[in-house]
Structure 1
Amino acid sequence: MSKFKKKKGGELPPVNTASLPDIVFMLLFFFMVATVLRKNDLKVLNQLPPADQIEKLDKSRTVFIYIGKPGPNYKGKAREAIVQIGDRIVDVSEVKTAILQEVTKLREELQSSAIVALKIDQDAEAGLVYDVKQELREANLPKIIFITTAGESVE
């Protein structure tokens, strides 16, 4: 009599699913880290002017205002430069209320030190930028910065 018996059926063993939860969580973490979430749907063209002296911005206490001509995502009738705060297109007279609404979305301890960052298209009109700055002064938000791209400054 032999100690080893030959298998007669040649069946495949069942698939081991013990490591499946590990693989699922590894994929979950990968996609959580690799995914970029956009905060605003940009509706204006925004080609920023270059500057040679730039520094990194702390975005935790920053509210962005976009000024430029309507982009491909804009569904309105305007052809001139427009102002976007958050996901809304606002008129210059509405900038004060819209920016104060955005500031209240910040954490409570950051609201008093909020910074307004202007992302202005390089072809936007200076009069519109001046009007927006006047509205920000009336809203008591004096900390204003201009966002640019790295490059040679314009002479």
Structure 2
Amino acid sequence: MSKFKKKQDEGTPAISTASLPDIVFMLLFFFMVVTVMRDTSLKVKNVLPYADQVEKLEKKDLVMYIYAGKPSPRYQQQFGTEARVQLNDNYARISDIQQFIFQERESKREELVPALITALKVDKETNMGLVSDIKQELRKAEALKINYTTREGDANLNME
């Protein structure tokens, strides 16, 4: 009769799951903060032309996007095959562009309004007349900072 008994070998101890909920919620919070949600869903065909002298915009929150192109196949039966303008998630008329610019300016802080840039994402097969009409409306709205969004590459590829 000994006072001390040898401990029986019980195998490896079980993994503690007490901190598992904390880890799961930490990962969930991380992915909620880091994930970028898509701002708009494109309803127009948008194959951008190539350009060889491209610069990246630094502050994308100061950019207002105007999309132009033929309706995507999903919307062609409803809207036809003529090139159209898309502002945010909806098709729009050329005359709606001024109102769109004014609404975007209202949603920004006053000191950021002079730095706002209008980015035209125009399909490479879109008629230049539509682009010219868009630019005329932008002039009327005094949105004179215009950026043409393109893909980086040789400009001669646009001829194909």
Q: CA deviation at 1:123?
A: 0.2
- Paired position in structure 2 for 1:124: 126
* Counterpart AA for 1:65: I
- Aligned partner (choices 140, 147, 151) of residue 145 of structure 1: 147
Distance 1:6 1:115, change over 3 A: closer
Aligned mates of 2:141, 2:117 — CA distance in 1: 12
Matches within 5 A, 1:1-155: 1-2=1-2, 3-4=4-5, 16-32=16-32, 35-58=35-58, 59-72=60-73, 74=75, 76-154=78-156
State the alpha-carbon separation in 1 of the partners of residues 97 and 52 from structure 2: 30
Deviates more, 1:46-55 or 1:24-33: 24-33
Query: What is the alpha-carbon distance in structure 2 between the residues aligned to residue 73 and residue 95 of structure 1?
Result: 24
Kindly provide the amino acid, as one letter, of the partner of residue 140 in structure 1.
E
Give the number of equivalent residue pairs.
152
CA-atom RMSD, angstroms? 2.5
Normalising by structure 1, report the TM-score: 0.83
For normalisation by structure 2, the TM-score amounts to 0.81
Q: Residues 50 and 149 of structure 1 are in contact (CA less than 8 Å); yes or no, is this contact kept in structure 2? A: yes
Gaps of 5+ in 2: none
The answer for unaligned runs of 5 or more in structure 1 is none
Deviation readout 1:58-90 (Å, 9 max, x if unpaired):
312110000001114537323111101111210
Q: Which has the higher helix share?
A: 2
Query: Which SS does the other structure have where 1:56 is aligned?
Result: coil
Give the whole-Å Cα distance in 2 for the aligned partners of 1:92 and 1:53.
29
**Quick one: distance in 2 between partners of 1:42 and 1:106?**
23
